[in-house]
Amino acid sequence: MSTTTLPTQTRDGAQSLPLERPSGVRHALRRFVRTSRIGAISALFLLVLLFVAIFADQVAPYHPLEATFTALRQPPSPSFWLGTDNLGRDVLSRLIHGARLSLAVAIVSTVLGKLVGLTWGVLTGYVGSTFDLVSQRVIDILLAFPGIILA
């Protein structure tokens, strides 16, 4: 992508330095925020969630397994923002640490699914003939079931 800059004239007739256009990434980010406010807010929320999941040990107020026996089944309060469970463990801390595990499972399952699908598709494309027909029927059978049954 090429950018053209023209020298500008100042009031006293001297030429000033050309103005630089923002880089491609910066320009795309500005355009995304300007055109899709809900998308920008959602992306910000996901970035905060990712940050909290990665730095769960520093963000969580308590250890997820730490039990406070004097605070069994407490409602939300300044000490325990989401309350405590039956064993006196902070629900917010357990939620934050659970986000880390959920994020890891989501990433691993996505990568594994992509690798299996890519391998299957490449094999089907290159081998062809009978393997292609059998693969098509297997995929048709899998697609016939609702996703909730296979989950």
Q: Is residue 149 very low, low, confident or very high in pLDDT (cuts 50, 70, 90)?
A: confident
Q: What is the pLDDT of residues 88-97, one digit of tens each?
A: 999 999 999 9
Is the full-model pTM beyond 0.85?
no
Q: Are 19 and 5 in contact (CB under 8 A)?
A: yes
pLDDT value at residue 146:
83
Q: What span, in angstroms and rounded, lies between the C-alpha atoms of 99 and 80?
A: 18
Q: Give the span between the Cα atoms of 40 and 46, in whole angstroms.
A: 10
pLDDT digits (tens, 9 = 90+) for 73-130: 999 999 999 999 999 999 999 999 999 999 999 999 999 999 999 999 999 999 988 9
Where are the domains positioned within the chain? 22-54
Helical H runs in the chain? 24-35, 37-54, 56-59, 91-127, 129-144, 147-150
CA angle 46, 48, 53 (to 5 degrees): 95
pLDDT for res 25:
85
